[in-house]
Chain A
Amino acid sequence: MKIIVTILSLFVATTINAQTSYEKGMTKAFELWENKTPDEAINLFERIARAEKENWLPFYYAAQVHVVTTFGIKDAEEIESRLKKAQDFINEAKTFSKNNAEILIMEAMLNTAYVVYNPSVYGMTHSAKVEELYQKAKVLDPENPRAMLYHAEWKIGGAKYWGKDPKAFCSEIEKAILYFEKESNNDIPFYPKWGMNQIERVQQNCK
C-alpha cells in the first residue's frame, strides 16, 4: 500500500512538474523581457505557443513584446517587419480565443504603433481601426481597465492635437482605476493584468 502511495505521489509530482514547465517558461520569458532581451523573450513565447498548441496567451505576449519594442526604434524596415510579425501572432491568438477583449486591445495598440511610426501614411486608415477596436473591446468586456485607460489615452492624444481640452477624458482614467481595483483575480495563470502602473503617466494630462 505504502509503495503504491509513494509511486502515486511521485507520479503526481512529475505531472505537476510537467504542468509547471509552462509556468516556468512563461516566467522565464517575462524575465528575459525585463532584462532587455526582447527578442529572446519573443522567441521563448513563440516556442511556448507552438508547444502549447491551443493557448492564446503566449502568442498575445509575443505580439506585445514586438509592439512595445517598436516604440523604441527608428529603422522603418525593422518597425514594419516587427509590426507585421505582431499582427501574425495576434491572428494566431485569435484562432484560439474568439471575441477576446484583451486581444482586441493589443491589436488596437499595434495599430497605434503604426500611427505613431508613420502618421502621414497610416494616420487616416489606422486611426479609425484603433477606435473601432477599443469600442469592440469595451462591448465585450465593459469593465476592462486596459480598454478604459488606453482608449482614454488615445482620445486625450486626439484632443490635444485638435486643441481641445484633454481633461474631458480624465473621468475615464478614474473609471480605469476603479476597474483595476475591481479586476477579478482570474484563475488563469498569466492572464493579462498589466497597465496599472501606467495610470500616473496618463494622468499627467489631467494636471
Chain B
Amino acid sequence: MKLTLTFAFVLILLSADAQTTISGKVADPSGNPIQGANVYLDGTYDGSSSDENGVFSFSSSETGLQTLKVSFLSFETYSLQKEVTEMGALNIKLREDVNSLGSVVLNAGTFSAGDNSKASVLNPLDIVTTAGAAGDYIGAFQTLPGTSNVAEDGRLFVRGGDASEANVYIDGLRVFQPFNATANNIPTRGRFSPFLFKGTNFSTGGYSAEYGDALSSVLLLNTIDEPNLEKTDVSFISVGLGVGNTQKWKKNSLSINAFYINLKPYQEIISQRVDWIKPFESLSGEAVYRHKFNKGLLKIYGGLNYTDLQLIQEDIDVPEGVNFGLKNRNLYLNTSYKGALGNDWTIASGTSFANDDNDVNIINTDIENRENSFHFKIKLRKRFSNRFKLNFGIEQFINSFSEKGTASDFETFKTSYNNNSTAAFTETNIFFSKKLALQIGVRGVHNVLLNDTKISPRASLAYKTASKSQISLAYGDFYQAPQQEVLKYDTTLDPQRSSHYILNYLYQNNGRTFRAEGYYKSYDRLVKFNTETPEFNSLYDNNGKGYATGLDIFWRDNKSIKNLEYWASYSYLDTERDYRNYPNKATPNFAANHNLSLVTKYWIDNWKSLLSTTYNFASGRPYNDPNAGVFQNKKTRTFNSLDVSWAYLISQQKILYLSVSNILDFDNTFNYQYTNTPDSNGNFARRPIKPNADQFIIVGFFWTISDDKTDNQLDNL
C-alpha cells in the first residue's frame, strides 16, 4: 500500500509537468503572415515553426515566467517575457532587420568596392582588371562617373575640382603623398600596390564628418585584415620587376613586396615626345604586419619609395627646352588598431607619418624641400541598437615644411611653415525602418597656422522607394587649407570652402545596377594670386569663387551576356570658377563638359583568358588663347582612347599579360601652350600639349608560388 501511494505521489509529481499550449500568429510590419519563423521558449526544447498562415502552436511543460523568442531571416529576433499561461493567441509583429540585405543604404556621393557592402558597384577584382589602369588602383576609379579624364596628370579630378581637392586615406588615416612624384605632363600613379587592399570607398561628394580638409572627394582604402595564405609572387614586366611574399604564423601575418621600375629600355625602343636624359626609375618597398588580439586587430604598414628622373621639357618660350630633374624619397608609416571594448563600444585608432624629400633641378635652379606630416586619430563608436549608432572622435594633424632654393645667379632663398590642426567630429546613424535612414554629423577644425576655426555640418538621408530602388540626399560643408605651393609664401589666408547638394537614385537588381546622381557644388574663399604661378612676391587673397553642377550616370550589367561584365559611366559637368590667376570666372582646362567610359571584361573560358577593354571619351577641354579676346574661350578636340588588355592564364598560377593603351592610336591634345610675348605680327604662337607617347604597351609574366597551387595574381593586374 505504502508503495502504491508513493508511486501515485511520484506519478503526480511527474505529471505536474502539466502541458500549457503556446500559440499565436507571426506577421511582418505590414501584417503579412511570416512562414517558417522559429518560435521557442528560450532555454528549452519547446518550440515550433510558423505555418503558411504565420500560425504556430506548441505545448510546453514549463511554468511561470518564461521568455518567448521568435526569429526569422532578415528580421530582428523578437523577445517576450510573460507567464506561460498567458502565452495563448499571441499576435507577434517582427521588426525588419535593418542590417539585412534589401535595406536602404546611405550611399549618396559614394562608390563602394568590396564584397560586403550592400551598395557595392565594383568588386575588388574590378579595380585591377580594368584595361588602361595597368595595375594602378586609381586608374579604375577614373572610369567612374564624377571624374574627369585628365590623362596627362593621372590623379583624380572630381566634379569640377582639381586634383588637390581629393584626399586619400588608408585604414582611416591620411595618406599625405598618395601619388608618385613626377614632372609636368607625365602622368603619375598611386604609390601603393593594389593587392594590399580589400575594400574601397570612393566618395565624389557629401562624405562623412570623419573626413575633412578636402573640397571635393575622399578615397578610403582598407588594407586586408588577414591574408588567405602564405605565398610568393614574382612578376616580370616590360618596364620592371617585382617580388612579394606573405607569411602567417599564430596570430600574426606579414606581407612584404618590392617593385623596381625602369622605363629606359622601353623608351629606347618606343619613341617619346619628351627628351629623357634619365628615364623614370623607381624603387619601392612595402610591408604590412598584422596581429590579431582577442578583441581587436593591429596593423602596421610601412612604405618606402625612391624615384629618380631627368628630362628636357618642351617649352615654347625656351627653344632648347627646360632641363628638369627630380629625385624623390617618400616614407610612409601607418599604424592602426580596431577593436571591441565590450558593451557594444568599438574603438578605431591610429597614427600615420610621412616624410617626403624632394630634390628638384630646373635649369640652373636647385630646390630642395622636405615635408614631415603626422596624423593621429581616435574614434569611438557605440551601437545602441541596430537602428541607432553613434560615432565620435578627435584628430590631430602636424605638418612641417621647409624649402631651400639655390640659383647660380641669385641668392639662396628659404621658406618654411608649420601647419598644425586639431579636429573633432561626431556622427549618428539612425534607421527609422528598413526603408528610411538618416546620418547626421558635424565636424569642427581649428587650424593653428591660419588661426581659424570652422564648423561644418554633414547630413544624408536615404529612402527606399521600392524593393530594388532607393533615393538619397546629401548635404555638407567642406573646408580645405590652401596648398603647400601657396602656404610656403603666405600663411595669412583662410581655408577654402565648398558646399555639396546631392540627389541620388539607385536601382539594383540581380547583377544589374543603375545609378544616377545630380549635384550642385558651390565654392568660395578660393585662393587667388596675381602671377602666373604662386611666387614669394605674389599678392594672395581669398576672393575666388565658383560652382560645379552636373549629372553622373552609371550602369553596370553582369548578367545579360554570359561571361561578360561591363559598365558604362557618363558625366555631364558644368563648372566655372575664378581662382588662381584667372581674370574672371571661367571653366578650367581639366573640366570637359562630357566624359564617357565604357569598360568591358570578357572571360573566354576555352582560352582561359580575360579580355578587357576600356573606352574613354571626353568632349573638348577649354584652353586659353591669348590671341582671342575672351579668357579660356577655346576648346581642344575631343579625347578618345581605347585600351585593351589580355590576361592569359597559362596555368592556375602563371599569368601572361599584355596591355596596350590607345590601341587605335587616336591623336589627343590636352591643352596648348602659348608664347609669353607676341611675335612681330602681334600673334602669340602655340604648341600643343600631347601625351608623352600616344600608346603604352606592357608585357608581363606573373607567377605565384604557394603550397596549394590555386592562388594567382589575377587580382593584381
* A residues whose Cβ falls under 8 Å from a Cβ of B: 2-3, 6-7, 10, 14, 21-22, 25, 39-40, 42-44, 46-48, 50-51, 76-77, 80-82, 84-85, 120-122, 124-125, 127-129, 131-132, 135, 158, 162
Contacts and interface: CB of A to CB of B under 8 A. Distances in A.
A43 to B, nearest CB: 4
Contact of A7 (B10, B69, B707): B10
Given A10-B10, A122-B115, A131-B229, A21 B38 contact: no
B711 interface: yes
A6 B3 contact: yes
B194 to A, nearest CB: 13
Given A40-B49, A50-B40, A120-B558, A125 B115 contact: yes
A169 B13 CA distance: 61
B123 A121 contact: yes
A52 B510 CA distance: 39
Given A43-B36, A128-B228, A82 B73 contact: yes
A44 B39 CA distance: 10
B124 A162 contact: no
A14 B229 contact: no
B707 A135 contact: yes
17 contacts: A3-B2, A3-B3, A6-B3, A7-B10, A25-B45, A50-B40, A51-B45, A77-B102, A81-B100, A81-B101, A82-B73, A120-B603, A124-B714, A128-B229, A132-B229, A162-B649, A162-B652
Given A81-B74, A121-B115, 10 more contacts: A39-B49, A42-B38, A43-B48, A50-B42, A81-B101, A84-B101, A85-B73, A120-B603, A128-B708, A135-B707
B608 interface: yes
A120 to B, nearest CB: 7
A77 B101 contact: yes
Contacts of A43: 36, 38, 47-49
B63 to A, nearest CB: 16
Contacts of A2: 3
Contact of B47 (A21, A47, A82, A125): A47
Contacts of B711: 127-128, 131
Contacts, number: 91
Contact of B708 (A25, A76, A132): A132
A85 B101 CA distance: 12
Nearest to A18: B45
B710 interface: yes
B101 A6 contact: no
B230 to A, nearest CB: 9
Contacts of A127: 710-711
B681 interface: no
A14 to B, nearest CB: 7
A131 B228 CA distance: 9
B263 interface: no
B102 A7 contact: no
A207 to B, nearest CB: 24
A50 B714 contact: no
B73 A81 contact: yes
Contacts of B229: 128, 131-132, 135
Nearest to A52: B45
Given A76-B510, A120-B565, A128-B228, A3 B73 contact: no
B651 interface: yes
B64 interface: no
A125 B40 contact: no
B2 A47 contact: no
A47 B708 contact: no
Interface string B1-19: 0110011001000100000
B10 A51 contact: no
B400 interface: no
A64 to B, nearest CB: 16
B543 interface: no
A129 B227 CA distance: 9
A139 B229 CA distance: 14
Given A124-B714, A124-B715, A132-B229, A14 B14 contact: yes
B125 interface: yes
Nearest to A22: B45
Chain B CB within 10 Å, residue with most, of A43, A131, A158? A43
Contacts of A132: 228-229, 708
A86 B73 CA distance: 11
A140 B710 CA distance: 21
Contacts of A135: 229, 707-708
Nearest to A4: B6
A40 B36 contact: yes
